[in-house]
Amino acid sequence: MKKSKCIIAIAAAMFISSSAAYAEEVVHPPAPAGLDVHFGFPGVQGLNELLVKKGIITKEELEAQAKKHSMNISGYIQFQGSVIENNDVVSDEDGFRIRRAKLAVFGNAYEHVKFKLEANFAGTPALDDAFIEDDHLPYFVGRVGQFKVPFSLEELTSDTEILSIERSEVVKQIAPERDQGISFSGDIPGGLLSYSIGAFNGSKAKAATTYSIGSYNDAAKNATKNDNDQLLYAGRLVAKPAGWIKVGVNGLTSTDGSGSGEEDRTSYGIDLQIKNPKRGCSLQGEYLNQRLEKTGADVTSEGFYVQAGHFVVPKHLEVALKYEGYDADTAHRNRDDIRWTTVGLNFYIDGHDAKLMANYIFKNEGDDSYDNDTFLAQAQLRF
């Protein structure tokens, strides 16, 4: 009864609060191509529009200047509430938290030279992105600095635009997230194919941890400082046979650690994304596999997710469903083998810029399952 009341209280508070913020949708200016950001500072944008309207400057002159020198500010806040069904073995982790609080500065230093700085202030402040990008050649865009490794569709999708509140467990465990390095990307003429390849430091931030209440704590996340003389090499290729279908493949290889702790890491994956905006529905799936080889112990991990979304109220209310699985060691069946089902509702007040999300996750773990079904609710504001 106590858990039910907590779930109802969190859901009611976060969804009822939307009534005060519900308003007509606002169209924000698009972000610069190639930068995973949102929209610029609205005050500056409004001033520019006024100057154009008064005839002081033309739209063409404004756009030409923006290509040479521009700076924008964006960011977002994600506030979460959670209720976890616990047994006597696992401590209670119900409550609230700031999941992410990010600020980004981005723009054009020169006509074809872009930059981005992004930091996350939730918890201990940390640098997310810091890179320079040259797009003189749209089919060969160079980027140096710290940014996401080109691996995994869900990982490369912005935190603000994924279908469920949290990413799938297999993605957290195998996709390396951000790292420092260099990459080249672009669209092959005709727009049917796009690619991204890169070399990175490739040092793992942490080893896989013991499964407890439903997370391996992002075991695949890379550290930003290399721990040996080897690099991580990764690449991704995406085919677009139709405007609403994308098929992607990706792979990476790396040697992590040193001495007796050295291990060779090889990962690959395939994904499919189908989106039909006119019908308000989407379908997405991904499979990832990782093999770690070290003296006397080779471990293969694999997993998948399949998710679907459908707008029952156009542009505003979306029903979401996800089924996922992850096996930390395919040679053994135990409680580390997970099968989770997520049922969700997403309420879009102003697209992804202002939305509320609620997920209930039914969690099953191999032969020795915990009582750890989880309810999550999240309020998001992107500015």
| Successive 10-residue mean pLDDT values, the chain, 383 residues | 54 48 39 40 63 81 73 96 76 84 95 95 95 95 97 97 97 94 92 95 60 43 71 97 94 87 92 94 97 85 97 97 94 79 98 98 80 93 96
Residue 336 contacts residue 329 (beta carbons within 8 Å): yes
How many CB atoms are located within 10 Å of the residue 322 CB?
Answer: 21
Give the H or E element holding residue 356: strand 354-365
Interacting residues of 357 by C-beta distance below 8 A, sequence separation 6+:
164, 165, 344, 345, 346, 347, 376, 377, 378, 380
DSSP character for 89? S
- Angle, CA of 355, 356 and 362, to the nearest 5°: 135
pLDDT of residue 134: 97
Q: Which residue range forms the structural domain that includes residue 69?
A: 2-382
CB burial of residue 33 (10 Å; 0-12, 13-18, 19+): exposed
- Which residues are registered as beta bridge partners of 376? 82, 359
Q: How far apart are CA 113 and CA 145, in angstroms?
A: 13
Q: How far is Cα 169 from Cα 152, in angstroms, rounded to an integer?
A: 12
Read off φ and ψ for residue 260, nearest 5 degrees: -70, -20
Which CATH number belongs to the domain containing residue 282 in this structure?
2.40.160.10
Compute CA distances 46 → 32, 89, 353, 382, whole Å: 17, 56, 18, 18
What's the total number of domains in the chain?
1
What are residue 207's DSSP bridge partners? none
Closest alpha carbon to 302 in 269, 254, 272: 269
Q: Which residues pair with 300 in a beta bridge?
A: 291
Instruction: Provide the token pair at 4.
Output: 């039910």
Residue 233: burial class (beta carbons within 10 Å; 0-12, 13-18, 19+): middle
* Rg (alpha carbons) of the chain, rounded to whole number: 22
> How confident is the model at residue 354, as a pLDDT?
98
Task: Give the total residue count for the chain.
Answer: 383
Neighbours of 189 (CB within 10 A): 9
- Give CA–CA dist 337/363, Å, rounded: 11
pLDDT at res. 3: 59
Helix (H, G, I), strand (E, B) or coil at 4: helix
